[in-house]
Structure 1
Amino acid sequence: MAWSCSLKSFLTVFVFTIFAVGSVESYQCTSSSCTSESCPSTTDVCTATKGCFNQMQKFDTPSTATDQVLKQKGCFTDTCSDLTFSATLGDKRRFSYENKCCTTEKCNQEDITPSSSSEPNGVECTACYSEKEKSCSSVTTLKCTGNEKKCIEVTGMDLKSSNLRLYGKGCATENTCNLKMDVLSGVQIQASCISAVSNNGNRALKSISSAPIILLLLKVLL
């Protein structure tokens, strides 16, 4: 009798375990990777148990011929974190990154459209850009826009050769401070936030330059 009860208990646990494993939710995600603004219309699919991801990276330059785009979609097997940031450097260089995670059938199918704003936010940063050395021979002052309210210094190194790929300063979103990650299939960027440009010096220069004019007017009036 005891043996019969033990066997029934074992079978019950076994059947329950098989049912639990077999009932793990799974669904399909769009799977693709392309390096152009217009990705192929036909895409593959993958089966997900954790979720789908949708990622867009874009490096805008003064010429569309040198712009870089990387769009990736697929299933994530471990963890996935939403992340959006952007940085505008000197010489009209701007990098934007967005990664979205979702957990429904083909929820990553639509392409990500990067957002930007031209509305000044009152912050001004030193700006420059170089692909030859970790310094800039000439710098300008850049008026930051949108959510890019921090001044940044960034270095990009080639993952294979460890050679310099880029160096620059400019405006960036707050979450770029102390950021270190791989982007654009082979570049490791390391960023840190720096001090914004102060307007006090400009005000002082204006006051000094206007002093002789004020003295001259006083002499004329007196």
Structure 2
Amino acid sequence: MAWSSSLKSLLTVFVFTSLTVSSVESYECTVYPCVISPCAVCTATKGCFNEIQRFGTPSSPTDGIFKQKGCVADSNTCSSLTISATLGNQQTFTYVNSCCTTDKCNEADLTLPAPSSTPNGVECPACYNDKANLCSSVTTLKCTGAEKRCIEVTGAGVGTSNSVIYGKGCATENSCGVEMTVFGNMKIKTSCSSPVSNHGNPTAKFVSSFLIFLLPLKFLL
């Protein structure tokens, strides 16, 4: 009797496992860069990723664009992310990654968000060097838009690449504490620090003016 019950339990487990495995949805994702035309596809169960990066200056908005598409590895988590940073010499970096889970949902190219020119009151030390991991001189940069954190970026080439970059400037909050490979062969690390100042911040100006107004009253009382 006990043996019969054990067989039934094993059969139940086998059927449940088979149903679970067979219920995992798979779909095709577009692969880019294309090796052949039309672009090849891969089969995924964790999602399709669609990535675009741009590195350059405001005067060259179409230069330095890198696109990549494919299947999210089974060991990774599918997540969407948008980050941006402005370093010394007006070197800008924008990264957008989109994740989706339907057939060839990553086929269309992504569009990079337009940079903001509106000052946000934050100022950060800024520099940029693509020859060494340091800067000989540092200036002050007025941050704009959502870039409200001061960032430091170090980068080194992977594989056969011996490229290096180092920079400081303004960045979005989610740019802090990032380790990632950009442009296919450059591994970067980022860290953030407090802003140099909040000049131009309406709240900061109001508090400062209010304290100056109260100071003479202290001597009159």
TM-score (norm 2): 0.72
Rounded Cα–Cα distance in structure 2 between residues aligned with 1:197 and 1:9: 66
Check if 1:104 corresponds to 2:91.
Answer: no
Which residue is 2:55 aligned to?
Answer: 59
8 Å Cα contact 1:58/1:96 also seen in 2: yes
Structure 1 residue 99: deviation in Å?
1.4
The SS at the match of 2:147 is coil
More strand by share: 1
Query: Is contact 2:121–2:198 with CA below 8 Å preserved after alignment?
Result: no
SS at match of 1:33: coil
Distance of 2:93 and 2:22 partners within structure 1: 43
Q: Which has the larger radius of gyration?
A: 1
8 Å contact kept, 2:58–2:92: no
Partner of 1:48: 44
Structure 2 match to 1:37? none
After superposition, the C-alpha distances for 1:58-107 in whole angstroms (9 at most, x for unaligned) are 11147759932221111113322222211111112111112121112222
How many residues align? The count is: 195
Residue 185 of structure 2 is matched in structure 1 by: 186
Q: Distance in 1 between matches of 2:150 and 2:86?
A: 10
| SS of residue paired to 2:154 | strand
- C-alpha distance in 2 between matches for 1:197 and 1:47: 48
Deviates more, 1:59-68 or 1:143-152: 59-68
Structure 2 gap segments, 5+ residues each = 200-221
Q: Give me the CA root mean square deviation.
A: 3.3
In 2, Cα distance between the equivalents of 1:189 and 1:10?
A: 50
- Per the alignment, residue 168 of structure 2 pairs with 169
1:178 shift after superposition: 2.2
Residue aligning to 2:202: none
The farther-off stretch of 64-73 and 42-51 is: 64-73
Deviation at 1:22, TM superposition (A): 3.3
